[in-house]
């Protein structure tokens, strides 16, 4: 695994544990020789993550839309900063540059990025692992809702299990490194067969 895409809030959030986890993850990735791909910002958990990885000698690639870069939110000290035209292009570039994904606490944008990556994995559009760092129980209610979705038969157990959930950066990274994607063809074929019956 050469690079991991990290989704994170542009805010530091209400708890010091969030920034501590972002700092720990950035340092961990750098010390393991794994580059960071992220949204290119210098604020919030994004900035904490990038600063920690850079301080530990790691590679940090930021990808940011021109509209946000022009508002002086871009991190000037990263290894490489790519400015793109749209948010869609940003996400596609982040995915293309990465071998896996980890979401730290964040807002609506972080959730949107996380679930797009997970959806692509479910559909077999990529075979890259998707991790979620549930720091200080931040994602507990989201995870409970995923259980509801499974109970109500909108997602399958094996699809929910694709999301690698941990509360510590080292543990989620270890799970990413050990991940093998299941075959999407089998469940797509089964889904089609069940809906024809």
Assessment of whether the complete model's pTM goes beyond 0.85: yes
- At residue 181, the pLDDT reads 87
Question: 113 in helix, strand or coil?
Answer: helix
Pick the more confident residue, 186 or 134: 134
Reported as a single tens digit per residue, the pLDDT across 46-77 is 999 999 999 999 999 999 999 888 776 899 99
Give, for 63, the enclosing helix (H) or strand (E).
strand 60-65
In this prediction, residues 160-171 reach a mean pLDDT of: 97
Domains and CATH numbers, the chain: 3-196 (3.40.50.450)
Return mean pLDDT, the chain.
93
CA distances from 14 to 19, 70, 91, 166 (A): 10, 27, 26, 20
- At residue 35, the pLDDT reads 98
CA distances from 179 to 59, 117, 118, 154 (A): 23, 15, 14, 24
- At residue 188, the pLDDT reads 56
Residue 186 region by backbone torsions, left for phi larger than 0, else alpha for psi between -120 and 50, else beta: alpha
In this prediction, residues 112-117 reach a mean pLDDT of: 96
């Amino acid at each position: 695994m050469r690079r991991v895409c990290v989704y994170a809030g542009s805010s530091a959030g209400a708890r010091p544990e969030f920034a501590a986890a972002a700092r720990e993850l950035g340092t961990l990735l750098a010390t393991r020789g794994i580059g960071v791909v992220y949204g290119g910002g210098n604020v919030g958990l994004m900035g904490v993550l990038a600063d920690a990885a850079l301080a530990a000698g790691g590679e940090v690639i930021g990808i940011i839309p021109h509209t946000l870069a022009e508002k002086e939110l871009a991190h000037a000290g990263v290894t490489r900063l790519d400015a793109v035209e749209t948010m869609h292009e940003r996400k596609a570039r982040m995915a293309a540059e990465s071998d896996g994904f980890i979401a730290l606490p964040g807002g609506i944008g972080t959730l949107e990025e996380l679930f797009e990556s997970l959806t692509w994995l479910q559909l077999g559009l990529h075979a890259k692992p998707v991790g979620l760092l549930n720091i200080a129980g931040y994602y507990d209610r989201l995870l409970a809702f995923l259980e509801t979705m499974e109970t109500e038969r909108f997602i399958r157990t094996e699809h929910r299990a694709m999301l690698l959930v941990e509360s510590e950066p080292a543990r989620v990274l270890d799970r990413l490194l050990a991940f093998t994607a299941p075959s999407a063809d089998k469940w797509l074929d089964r889904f089609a067969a069940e809906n024809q019956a």
